[in-house]
């Protein structure tokens, strides 16, 4: 057997575990982010308002709802239920987050993104860390992309509902 043939036989099995790691990693991100904000919805609303892209009332409403959306995505991904849908919503949110952070950076705002807890205006003398935040969110977006391509993973409700776990040669 050639090296190429051996590698091509290993990729389907490896792909399943890469997708599983992506699913569990993205689930952890959403559960941590939502969990950090759910205890102080007013602070979450202020963090969204700090981006100055929508009226205050709309920003606070979105900020109050966002932790629950993040927690729901985290639970769905943790269980492996509606994985492709959860990955799609995750990707859309992450694109909005990256655009919001880039917009704040471009407009010279000095804010904390509020991604993993209360955000908002930074205290005088503190510098924003926009580039690391954007790169981090792009990494999370890559995890969502993996799940959009390969949503069925071992140890998932999606696999159980389908009646069988994904096979190594299955190509979705």
For 90-145, the pLDDT digits (tens) are 999 999 999 999 999 999 999 988 888 877 777 777 888 899 999 999 999 999 99
Distance (Å) of CA 129 to CA 112, 116, 134, 135: 8, 14, 9, 11
Residue among 91, 78, 97, 77 nearest 148 (CA): 91
Above 90 in pLDDT, residue 79? yes
Are 135 and 167 in contact by the 8 Å Cβ rule? The answer is no
Separation between Cα atoms, residue 158 and residue 162, nearest integer Å? 6
C-alpha of 119 from chain center:
18
Question: What pLDDT score was predicted for residue 171?
Answer: 47
pTM comes to 0.86
User: What would the DSSP string read from start to end of the chain?
Assistant: --HHHHHHHHHHHHHHHHHHHHHHHHHHHHHHHHHHHHT-HHHHHHHHHTT-SS-HHHHHHHHHHHHHHHHHHHHHHHHTSSHHHHHHHHHHHHHHHHHHHHHHHHTT--EE--TTS--EEPPTTPPP-HHHHHHHHHHHHHHHHHHHH----SS-HHHHHTTSPPPTT---
Question: What pLDDT score was predicted for residue 126?
Answer: 82
109: which 2 tokens?
């705002």
Above 60 in pLDDT, residue 6? no
Residue identified by tokens 């985290």 is 74
Separation between Cα atoms, residue 52 and residue 95, nearest integer Å? 17
Counting residues of the chain whose pLDDT is more than 70, the rounded percentage is: 87
Question: What pLDDT score was predicted for residue 172?
Answer: 44
């Amino acid at each position: 057997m050639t090296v190429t043939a051996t590698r091509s036989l290993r990729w389907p099995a490896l792909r399943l575990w890469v997708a599983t790691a992506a699913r569990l990693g993205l689930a952890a991100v959403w559960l941590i982010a939502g969990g950090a904000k759910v205890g102080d919805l007013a602070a979450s609303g202020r963090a969204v308002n700090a981006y100055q892209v929508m009226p205050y009332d709309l920003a606070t409403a979105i900020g109050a709802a966002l932790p629950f959306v993040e927690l729901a995505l985290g639970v769905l991904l943790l269980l492996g239920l509606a994985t492709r849908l959860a990955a799609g919503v995750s990707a859309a949110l992450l694109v909005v987050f990256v655009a919001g952070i880039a917009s704040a950076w471009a407009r010279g705002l000095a804010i904390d993104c509020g991604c993993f807890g209360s955000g908002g205006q930074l205290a005088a003398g503190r510098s924003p860390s926009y580039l690391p935040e954007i790169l981090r969110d792009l990494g999370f977006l890559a995890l969502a992309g993996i799940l959009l391509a390969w949503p069925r993973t071992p140890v998932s409700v999606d696999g159980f509902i389908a009646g069988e776990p994904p096979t190594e040669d299955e190509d979705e």
